[in-house]
Structure 1
Amino acid sequence: MKPQKEALEIVKKYISKYNEDNEDKIKENLLKELKNYLVRTGDGTVTLRSEDSKEMMHSSVGALTEAIYKFVKPTKLEERKDPFILDLCSGLTYNAVAALNYNRNAKIHMVEICEEVLFLSLFIDIPLKEHEIIKDKVREYFLNKLGYSYKSKYKNVILTVGDARKVKFYNYDVVFHDAFSPKRDPTLYTYNFLKKLYNSMNKNSVLSSYSSSIPFRRALVENNFIISEEKSPERKRGITLAYKDIDYKPNRVNEVDERLIALSISSIPYIDKTLSWSKEKIIKYREEIKLRVKMEAGNYISTKKIRANKVPNEIVKIQKEDKNSTEIIKKMSKVIGWDSILRRYLS
């Protein structure tokens, strides 16, 4: 999902008019113009309508609630000592604000491609005092961009505006992966981008994403993440957690998903070999690979049969082993005929 273009055009008008002294006036006028595009969610915080006017950028449960229960709580941020967080697709900044609220010693690298949404974050109300920290960093970006000289006093927040695929990454302990749905825009769900993330994460680090997409989870497995899942506050499908180099066994994803990730051709990951392909090219290339795998592999198990558990006994036995989901999926994958074909396209 993306914000409605009309809303972004309204916000864009105010960016060039912005200075440190007129925030209150801009807030009053901007929010008035956006009244048909902003929606109050269940916890009282606001979000934007998306391109589909019936859908919103955050769940109806609440934008702040979503940040807490899809990103902060599942990554056990409170328990981490001085964590370095990568906040992908920072948007209206709920995730970053919630993170600092739960761990004031955290350092955060915020990455956002849409200036308009980031600018709007200065004028919405997030009922946590840490919002002032994040706003000050956003304020620094826009004032300096407009030719003013402003220096934020907060050193624990880095803000980068641009395509995350091209951004310089550091070494992170936690990654909030809050990109749009991979079906709508797979650019940050590709095997290649997730490889970049994996290489930028420390030992015992974790990535959290609301997406439970099968191609996304397969891409994580192919990059040696240990995948897991936790319950989501407002839907049946669980959120995805992906760990790097941990020495314990997290919750497994459900058995049906393990089989689909390991066996179904629908699990073939999105690929972006240069980290610059358009979403249309990424989607088209994946469809081409699926056709090639079908032709080269010959016999394969249909998704319908996999869901019905009509799989070889060898698969059933593997799923009973006391291992993490990634180990189980990799072992099951070796049983099927097209596993090695896929890796040719990933290399």
Structure 2
Amino acid sequence: MDTPKIELTKDGSNTLVHPKYNAHYHSTAGAIIESDFVYIKSGLDFFIESTQTNSVSVLEIGFGSGLNAINTYRYAMEHEVFVEYIGVEKYPISLEVVQQLNFLNFFSIEDKEKVFIEMHQSIENKNLNFSEFFNFKKSFQDFSTINSLNQYDVIYFDAFAPNDQPELWTENLFSKMYASLKPNGVLVTYCAQGHARRAMQAAGFSVKRIPGPPSKRHITRAVKI
């Protein structure tokens, strides 16, 4: 894959631009803001508050820049909640690009540089125990080949938009995501397009369009009932 271009977003954090799709990895209105609001607050924190648990398994569809992973590590450390994290990415970015990203400037957690680099350098399916609160594993498989059953509590669905990758926003793929979640599991995504929500509903999810972060009216949260 050609090298993605790094851009600055409105909150001062970086995003990447995919060379094939010419699509941004994160919101240009603020990558950190989007990660915090969509995936941490509306996904991870929502599930923890709803279930009163202190142990969560997270599957990220679209590991990409690693922002959501390091942000979840930050959350786990600050809240002392154990997170089992699996990031799926078919086309990992190079270490050269990773080292130019400025996400770590926004976090004050210990060992953030070491953890972030090891996340990106990890070989497939190797368990990395970064702390007593965070275990990490990465997979390089295609999203469509995920066939887990009742394994995850939260899914961060952070694939490129339906206009760029329509094959990832289908009833068939969301049926796989539904099957991979435990009962009461949550799938959260930045996308609130009607056909994407209808595909989630057809797969069995209870789907809500909820208020989004600044510059985005709505996002989607889907729950396995």
What range describes the TM-score normalised by the shorter chain of this pair? 0.7 to 0.9
For each residue in 1:129-178, what CA deviation from the matched residue of structure 2 results, as whole angstroms up to 9, or x when unmatched? Answer: 34632421322329xxxxxxx98453710100121111453611000000
CA distance in 1, matches of 2:36, 2:220: 15
Question: Are residues 1:43 and 2:14 paired?
Answer: no
Query: 1: distance between equivalents of 2:186 and 2:67?
Result: 19
Q: Is the 8 A contact 2:154 2:187 kept in 1?
A: yes
Mapped pair 1:187 → 2:188:
no
Cα distance, 1:153–1:237 mapped onto 2, change above 3 Å: closer
Structure showing the higher strand proportion among its residues: 2
Aligned to 1:213, which of 170, 178, 193? 193
User: Which residue in the other structure is 1:96 paired with?
Assistant: 69
Contact 1:45 1:63 in 2 (8 A): yes
Please name the residue that 1:169 is paired with: 148
Q: Structure 2 matches for 1:8-23, cutoff 5 A?
A: 8=4
How far the C-alpha of 1:122 sits from its partner, in A, is 4.8
Of stretches 217-226 and 232-241 in structure 1, the one that deviates more from structure 2 is: 232-241
Contact 1:70 1:239 in 2 (8 A): yes
Return the alpha-carbon distance in structure 1 between the equivalents of residues 21 and 37 of structure 2.
25
- Higher CA-based Rg: 1
Deviation at 1:100, TM superposition (A): 1.8
Q: Are residues 1:87 and 2:60 paired?
A: yes
Q: Which residue of 2 aligns with 1:200?
A: 180
Q: Distance in 2 between matches of 1:182 and 1:68?
A: 22
Give the 3-state SS of the residue equivalent to 1:99 in structure 2.
helix
CA contact 1:93–1:118 (8 Å) conserved in 2: no
Which deviations, in whole Å up to 9, do the C-alpha atoms of 1:297-324 show, x marking residues without a partner?
Answer: xxxxxxxxxxxxxxxxxxxxxxxxxxxx
Question: Could you say if the C-alpha distance between residues 118 and 179 of structure 1 is closer, same or farther in structure 2, counting changes exceeding 3 Å?
Answer: farther
Q: Is 1:106 matched up with 2:83?
A: yes
Conserved in 1, the CA contact under 8 Å of 2:25 and 2:65? no
**Unaligned 5+ residue runs, structure 2?**
none
TM-aligned CA distance change 1:118 to 1:196, over 3 Å? farther
CA distance 1:126–1:236, change in 2 (3 Å) = closer
Q: Is the 8 A contact 2:148 2:179 kept in 1?
A: no
In structure 2, do the counterparts of structure 1 residues 40 and 206 end up closer, same or farther at CA, with 3 Å as the change threshold? same
**Higher relative contact order at CA 8 Å, sep ≥6: structure 1 or structure 2?**
2
- The amino acid that maps onto 2:93 is E
Structure 1 residue 234 corresponds to structure 2 residue 214: yes
1:89 maps to amino acid: G
Residue 121 of structure 2 corresponds to residue 157 of structure 1: no
Residues 90 and 110, structure 1, Cα contact 8 Å, conserved in 2 = yes
Provide the C-alpha distance between the structure 2 equivalents of 1:67 and 1:204, rounded to a whole number of angstroms: 22
The two structures, once aligned, show a CA RMSD in angstroms of: 2.8
> 2: distance between equivalents of 1:76 and 1:53?
28
CA–CA distance in 2 between the matches of 1:87 and 1:174?
8
Aligned to 2:37: 69
Normalized per residue, the structure richer in helix is 1
Are the equivalent residues in 2 in contact too, given 1:206–1:242 (CA < 8 A)? yes
Partner of 1:60: 28
**Structure 1 CA distance for aligned equivalents of residues 189 and 88 of structure 2:** 15
Distance 1:200 1:159, change over 3 A: same
Partner of 1:335: none
Matches within 5 A, 1:232-271: 232-245=212-225
Q: Which amino acid aligns with 1:207?
A: L
List per-residue Cα deviations over 1:154-210 (Å, max 9, x = no partner): 371010012111145361100000011112211221111111110110111110011
The one-letter amino acid of 1:192's match is N
* Structure 1 position 54, deviation (Å): 8.4
Task: Provide, for residues 54-85 of structure 1, a one-character-per-residue CA deviation record: whole Å limited to 9, x for no partner.
Answer: 86332222212211111110124253421100
Number of aligned positions between the proteins: 207
Aligned to 2:3, the other structure's residue is in SS state helix
Q: CA deviation at 1:51?
A: 4.7
